[in-house]
Amino acid sequence: MGHFVNVEDLSSNQVMHLIDRAIAYKKGEVKHVTGHVVNMFYENSTRTKHSFEMAQYRLGMHIINFEVQTSSVQKGESLYDSLLTMKALGVDTAVIRHFDDNYYEPLMNLGINIVNAGSGCGSHPSQSLLDMMTIYEEFGNFETLTVAIIGDLVHSRVAHSNMQLLKALGARVLLVGPKWYFNERMLQWGEYVDIETAIEISDVVMMLRVQLERHDDVMLMSAEGYHESYGLSLERQKRMKPHAIIMHPAPVNRNVEIADALVECSQSRIVRQMENGVYMRMAILESVMEG
C-alpha cells in the first residue's frame, strides 16, 4: 500500500509496469482488488472522477462518493478532518482532487493511501500516465519521439506532469505558447519553440485547454486571436507529419486551442485518452493497494 501523488516519485520501470498492467486490463484481464475507497473532488471533473469510479467498479472495490457540496465541508470542515473521518469509518484509500497544488503534503501520515486526481496548477499524475499509455500504444517507445505541449503551460497541471515524465522517459519535449503562459523553470524539461516549428517536427501534438478559471485577469487575447496564433487550426494540422497524433486532456474549448473538426479526426487520440483512463486508473489503484 502507498501513495500516488506525483510523477516525480516514479522510476521509468514503475511507469512501464503501470503501462503494462493498464494494457493487460484493456485486453480483458479481470482482477478483484480488496479495498474501501472514497472519491473526494473539491474541483469539478467529468473524466477523472468517473473513470476512477469505473476503474473501482471493475476492480470490485467498495466505493464512497464524498460530495463536497452536501458534506460538512460547507460547515468549515477541513480536508484533513474530512479525511480523518474517512479513516475512522474504515476507508483505506482516498482519490482526491483539490485546488491547492500541495494539498496532499499534510495528509501523508494519516494511514490512508492518497491518490492524487489533480492538484491545483501542480500535478495530474493519473492523466499523465494515461497519456504515456496512449503514446506507448501508438509508437512503442518514448526515446525516438518529439512531443510538443502547446498552450496554457503555466496553469496546466497536465502539462507540468507530462513535461517531467516525458523528459524522464527520454522524449524530446517542445514547449509552445504565449510568453505569459510560460515559465523559465520549465526549460529543465523542454525547449521553448514557436508553434510553426513544433507542428512540423513533432510526433505528438498535445494541445492544452486555456484555463480561464485559473487566470487572475481576463484572457489577454480573443478566442479567435488565440486560435490564430496558438491553436491547432485546420491549416496547421495539414503541416503535421502524416504519422503524428493529436492529444488533449479535455475538456476541450472547441475553436480556441483546437479546431472543432479536429477533435475526432483520424489523427486525434482524444477519445482514446479517455478510454485508456479507465485502464490506467485500474493499474494505479491495483498498485496503490498492493504496493
> Can you give the binding site for ligand CP, defined by CB under 6 A?
45-48, 118, 127, 249-251
What is the closest distance, in whole angstroms, from the C-beta atom of residue 97 to ligand CP in the complex? 7
By beta-carbon proximity to ligand CP, the closer residue of 131 and 203 is 131
| Strand order from edge to edge, sheet including 245-247 | 191-192, 172-176, 146-150, 204-207, 245-247
For ligand CP, which is the closer residue by CB, 65 or 72? 65
Give min distance, CB of 250 to ligand CP, in A: 5
Identity of the residue, 35 or 249, whose beta carbon is nearer to ligand CP in the bound complex: 249
Cβ atoms 164, 189 nearer than 8 A: yes
Please give the backbone phi and psi of residue 114, each rounded to the nearest 5 degrees, phi first: -105, 125
In angstroms, give the least distance from the CB of 41 to ligand CP. 8
Distance between CA atoms of residues 224 and 231, nearest Å = 9
- Alpha carbon 259 to its chain's center: 21
Closest CA relative to residue 204, chosen from 234, 160, 174, 170: 174
Measured in whole angstroms, the distance separating CA 23 from the mean position of its chain's CA atoms is: 18
Cell (9 digits) for 23 = 494494457
For residues 51 and 93, which CB has a smaller minimum distance to ligand CP in the complex? 51
**Nearest distance from residue 182's CB to ligand CP, in Å?**
21
> Closer CB to ligand CP, residue 92 or residue 152?
152
Contact 163, 222 (CB under 8 A): no
Minimum CB–partner distance for residue 209 and ligand CP (Å):
8
